[in-house]
């Protein structure tokens, strides 16, 4: 066993686990690690200017690569800065090892500057949280962390690394990685039971979740949906592309409001949830989302989600890629001739409905295309029309993205990334991580102006790394979503038309100056024609480009 310092061992262990990039923002407790990077030639260190964007970069990279990501934070304040984005990574099931530098153990009893019990701080938002207290335990800790982060259901883990663990040297057996096989099939008896129920459904509906994209099971879900003749909706907070957007069975994302969900479900006699949450809502309501007595077939990789809020007639723990083909075969085998004919007619009808609803959405956008300021629906249509088929879109439009996924050519699991956790500020830096994971695909980030200002310093990293990507700021000079929801309360603000703390227009933020100051090329668009010309130019440019798009500020219901 070789004698080596902990800082060298740490980098060797990360390389064993397949880590290619360490994202971070260093401080004094990370200096031993940064010293090790001075002679490291394989691992890449990507510098962020604050821990929140560093965390989201690692999250985006982990999701897009499907491999282990790593981020290194600075003591208690650094971990604290990252916590909102760590929450998003947890909800997205992103495989990230989060590390934070800690003071040397002989010093910690005095409670020095920046000290805190870091594993306790991180624990609510990770699968496993621990501090390494002996150098001899470092290999076991890293291997355990990597195995846990990547095991289904995937998610972030946390390790606190005291300074003495990194500076001490010891004979170390580095061991080797363990991977938990993820392609587990659902229980055969449960699949057969579910198939028998689905075979008799007259009007089934499917809600798809991120387990589909994580397991690259889009085509398996397409085959099932076509066999059922069922429309497919994304879960309300869509992390990924769970179903090809070009397919006529696709209906877009659920609206996160119970009356809207109940209204949609009431048109059907059975719900099949494949990896979807039932339901992540934005606000409480007196109306229950699920119609009374609606039967549910629920498939997921996470047992916690099965029957969490609504009892399932059949609950199946299994990976969609291996489970759905058996379910589809079971449905086809369980049907009578009449049931099969009914499913074929239903498929034709649901396909025609999908084509008609998309045509209607395009007509609405066409009618708005000449407006100035730009209407958000027309903007989403224009972006969808002009992006190449291999484009990757990161969506943090919040209140302006209606219709986006239906307009996009978003047909593969890596073509779309959304803000699953809802903690804003995620999209801009996450797009950088996605681009680093998918360097040969065009990457476009659609970010609201309010969201952008949470992590705007991430633009500097995009410039530093010379990433060919596009940031589109959807600029309505306000927190539009808050105005909408405050108005819906129909109380003082609605009665007086006074919305405190929700406008960003005195002064207006000059995104061009900010972006240029951080090293980007930047432009402003005031018409759809501007957007189309500038987007074409930006996609062909060397380095990152920001386009500030002024959109209609109207937010009140028509």
- Of all residues in the chain, the percent with pLDDT exceeding 70 is 99
Q: What pLDDT does residue 558 have?
A: 52
CA 51 – CA 33 distance, rounded (Å): 16
**Rounded mean pLDDT, 370-385:** 93
Q: Nearest Cα to 331, choosing from 211, 208, 187, 229?
A: 229
Q: What pLDDT does residue 465 have?
A: 98
Q: What pLDDT does residue 487 have?
A: 86
Q: Nearest Cα to 169, choosing from 32, 62, 54, 73?
A: 32
CA 129 – CA 102 distance, rounded (Å): 14
pLDDT digits (tens, 9 = 90+) for 464-485: 999 999 999 999 988 888 888 8
- Which 3 state secondary structure label does DSSP give 521? strand
Q: What are phi and psi of 7, to 5 degrees?
A: -65, -40
pLDDT digits (tens, 9 = 90+) for 432-473: 999 999 999 999 999 999 999 999 999 999 999 999 999 999
Between these two residues, 437 and 490, which has the higher pLDDT value?
437
Q: In DSSP terms, which residues pair with 205 in a beta bridge?
A: 271
Is residue 250 a contact partner of residue 191, using CB atoms and an 8 Å limit? Answer: no
pLDDT digits (tens, 9 = 90+) for 340-359: 999 999 999 999 999 999 99
pLDDT digits (tens, 9 = 90+) for 44-101: 999 999 999 999 999 999 999 999 999 999 999 999 999 999 999 999 999 999 999 9
CA 531 – CA 541 distance, rounded (Å): 15
Q: What value, to the nearest 5°, has the Cα angle with vertex 405 and ends 401 and 409?
A: 135
Residue 206 has pLDDT above 70, yes or no: yes
Place of tokens 């990360």: 14
Residue 375 has pLDDT above 90, yes or no: yes
pLDDT digits (tens, 9 = 90+) for 220-232: 999 999 999 999 9
Which distant-in-sequence residues (6+ apart) come within 8 Å of 322 by Cβ? 183, 184, 185, 186
Predicted TM-score (pTM) of the model is: 0.96
Which distant-in-sequence residues (6+ apart) come within 8 Å of 254 by Cβ? 207, 233, 234, 235, 236, 260, 261, 264, 279
Q: What value, to the nearest 5°, has the Cα angle with vertex 467 and ends 465 and 473?
A: 115
Residue 280 has pLDDT above 70, yes or no: yes
pLDDT digits (tens, 9 = 90+) for 395-439: 999 888 889 999 998 999 999 999 988 899 999 999 999 999 999
CA 498 – CA 496 distance, rounded (Å): 5
pLDDT digits (tens, 9 = 90+) for 287-307: 999 999 999 999 999 999 999
Structure tokens at 337: 């001739």
Residue 557 has pLDDT above 70, yes or no: no
Q: What pLDDT does residue 193 have?
A: 98
- Which 3 state secondary structure label does DSSP give 454? coil
Instruction: State the span(s) of the chain assigned CATH 3.40.50.1220.
Output: 188-355
Residue 1 has pLDDT above 80, yes or no: no
Position 236 confidence tier, pLDDT thresholds 50, 70, 90: confident
- Which 3 state secondary structure label does DSSP give 517? helix
Position 523 confidence tier, pLDDT thresholds 50, 70, 90: very high
Q: What pLDDT does residue 112 have?
A: 87
- Of all residues in the chain, the percent with pLDDT exceeding 90 is 85
Given the candidates 3.10.129.10, 3.40.50.970, 1.20.1260.10, 3.40.50.800, the CATH classification of the domain at 3-171 is 3.40.50.970
What is the CATH number that goes with domain 369-550?
A: 3.40.50.970
Instruction: State the span(s) of the chain assigned CATH 3.40.50.970.
Output: 3-171, 369-550
Report how far apart, in Å, the C-alpha atoms of 421 and of each of 56, 59, 282, 504 are. Answer: 12, 12, 11, 24
Q: What pLDDT does residue 36 have?
A: 96
User: If you average pLDDT over every residue of the chain, what do you get?
Assistant: 94
Domain 188-355 has CATH 3.40.50.1220: yes
Is residue 13 a contact partner of residue 2, using CB atoms and an 8 Å limit? Answer: no
């Amino acid at each position: 066993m070789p004698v080596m310092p902990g800082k060298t061992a740490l980098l060797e262990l990360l390389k064993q686990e397949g880590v290619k990039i360490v994202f971070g923002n260093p401080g004094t407790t990370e200096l031993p690690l940064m010293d090790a990077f001075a002679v490291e030639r394989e691992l890449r260190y990507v510098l962020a200017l604050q821990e929140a964007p560093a965390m989201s970069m690692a999250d985006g990279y982990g999701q897009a690569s499907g491999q282990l990501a790593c981020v290194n934070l600075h003591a208690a304040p650094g971990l604290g800065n990252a916590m909102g984005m760590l929450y998003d990574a947890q909800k997205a099931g992103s495989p990230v090892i989060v590390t934070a530098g800690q003071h040397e153990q002989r010093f910690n009893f005095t409670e020095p500057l920046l000290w805190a019990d870091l594993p306790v701080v991180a624990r609510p938002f990770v699968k496993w949280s621990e501090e390494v207290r002996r150098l001899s335990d470092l290999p076991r800790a890293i291997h355990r962390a990597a195995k846990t982060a990547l095991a289904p259901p995937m998610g972030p883990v946390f390790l606190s690394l005291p300074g003495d663990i990194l500076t001490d040297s010891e004979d170390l057996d580095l061991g080797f990685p363990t991977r938990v096989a993820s392609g587990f099939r659902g229980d055969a008896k449960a699949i057969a039971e579910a198939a028998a129920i689905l075979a008799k459904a007259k009007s089934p509906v499917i809600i798809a979740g991120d387990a589909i994209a994580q397991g690259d099971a889009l085509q398996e879900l397409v085959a099932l949906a076509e066999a059922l003749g069922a429309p497919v909706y994304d879960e309300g907070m869509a992390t990924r592309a769970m179903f090809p957007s070009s397919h006529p069975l696709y209906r877009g994302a659920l609206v996160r409001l119970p009356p809207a969900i109940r209204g949609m479900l009431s048109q059907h006699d059975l719900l099949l949830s494949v990896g979807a949450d039932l339901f992540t809502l934005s606000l409480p309501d007196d109306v229950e989302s699920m119609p009374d007595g609606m039967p549910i077939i629920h498939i997921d990789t996470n047992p916690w989600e099965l029957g969490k809020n609504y009892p399932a007639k059949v609950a199946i723990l299994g990976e969609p890629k291996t489970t759905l083909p058996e379910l589809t075969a079971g449905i086809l085998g369980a049907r009578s001739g009449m049931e099969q004919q009914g499913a074929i007619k239903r498929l034709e009808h649901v396909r025609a409905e999908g084509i008609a609803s998309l045509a209607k959405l395009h007509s609405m956008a066409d009618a708005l295309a000449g407006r100035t300021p730009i209407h958000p629906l027309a903007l989403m249509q224009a972006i969808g029309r002009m992006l190449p088929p291999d484009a990757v879109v990161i969506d943090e439009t919040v209140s302006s993205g209606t219709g986006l996924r239906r307009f996009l050519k978003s047909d593969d699991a890596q073509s779309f990334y959304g803000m699953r956790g809802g903690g804003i500020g995620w999209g801009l830096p996450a797009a950088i991580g996605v681009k680093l994971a998918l360097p040969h695909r065009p990457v476009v980030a659609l970010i609201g102006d309010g969201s952008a200002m949470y992590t705007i310093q991430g633009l500097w990293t995009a410039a530093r790394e010379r990433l060919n990507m596009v940031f589109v700021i959807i600029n309505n000079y306000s927190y539009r979503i808050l105005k909408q929801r405050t108005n819906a309360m129909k109380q003082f603000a609605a009665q007086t038309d006074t919305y405190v703390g929700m406008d960003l227009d005195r002064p207006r933020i000059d995104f061009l100056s900010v972006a240029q100051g951080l090293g980007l090329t930047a432009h402003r668009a005031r018409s759809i024609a501007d957007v189309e010309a500038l987007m074409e130019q930006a996609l062909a440019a060397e380095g990152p480009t920001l386009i500030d798009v002024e959109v209609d500020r109207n937010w009140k219901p028509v």
